[in-house]
Amino acid sequence: MKIILASQSPRRRELLERMGISDFEIIPAQGEESVKRTRTLTPDQLVEELSRHKCAEVMASCPEDLVIAADTMVAVNNRVLGKPGSEEDAARMLTTLSGRLHMVYTGVTVARGGTMITEHEITSVRFRPLTQADIIRYIATGEPMDKAGAYGIQGYGSLLVEGISGDYYNVMGLPVCRLGWMLKRFGVDPLALAAEKELAK
């Protein structure tokens, strides 16, 4: 059995490796992440649906392997902020987040054979008040452009975050603790894999 990560996100790849899972293949889902067709869903329902869609797409070509898929979104008062399409879009998102509490949702789907499990994690994040200069300088780093909500907590975006409540890794795009429990239901124990790796050294 192979383990497949249905994402080309370097952050998700890094987090999976940190969990002790080093032997996996990356097959990113190619389908469009359509919010339009699911706009009646709440953010938690939306990330779950999108993660299921990604997982099912990759699983179709490798049904006997274990597939992990995830989708992360930022929301303010249930208004979803996806990845910015331009620097102006990023500036609008960061202005919206300035000095406010927002929620980060990640839907995770794990599947193998005829079994598919989908769950989600929610983390609350509070930004400090941002000046226009803060926003311009942060966008100039290039970091916001490929991230939901236009920031990355693991990078320069950490300078904008006043505090969080919940799973830090969820904000990076993969709720590690929840995924670990989900994998155990498929017979994959990340702690056991990590222990074996250390003992083999």
Which residues are known catalytic residues? 71
Question: What are the structure tokens assigned to 105, written together?
Answer: 């949702």
CA distances from 83 to 73, 152, 186 (A): 8, 11, 32
Give the type of residue at 21. I
In angstroms, how far apart are the furthest CA atoms of the chain?
52
Question: What are the structure tokens assigned to 23, written together?
Answer: 């032997």
CA distances from 8 to 69, 113, 154, 160, 192 (A): 10, 23, 17, 26, 26
CA gap 158, 16 in Å, rounded: 21
Which is it for the CA torsion 72, 76, 81, 86, positive or negative?
Answer: negative
The residue ranges of DSSP E strands in 97-154, in sequence order, are 101-112, 115-127
Q: Which 8-state DSSP code applies to residue 160?
A: T
Question: What are the structure tokens assigned to 119, written together?
Answer: 């769950």
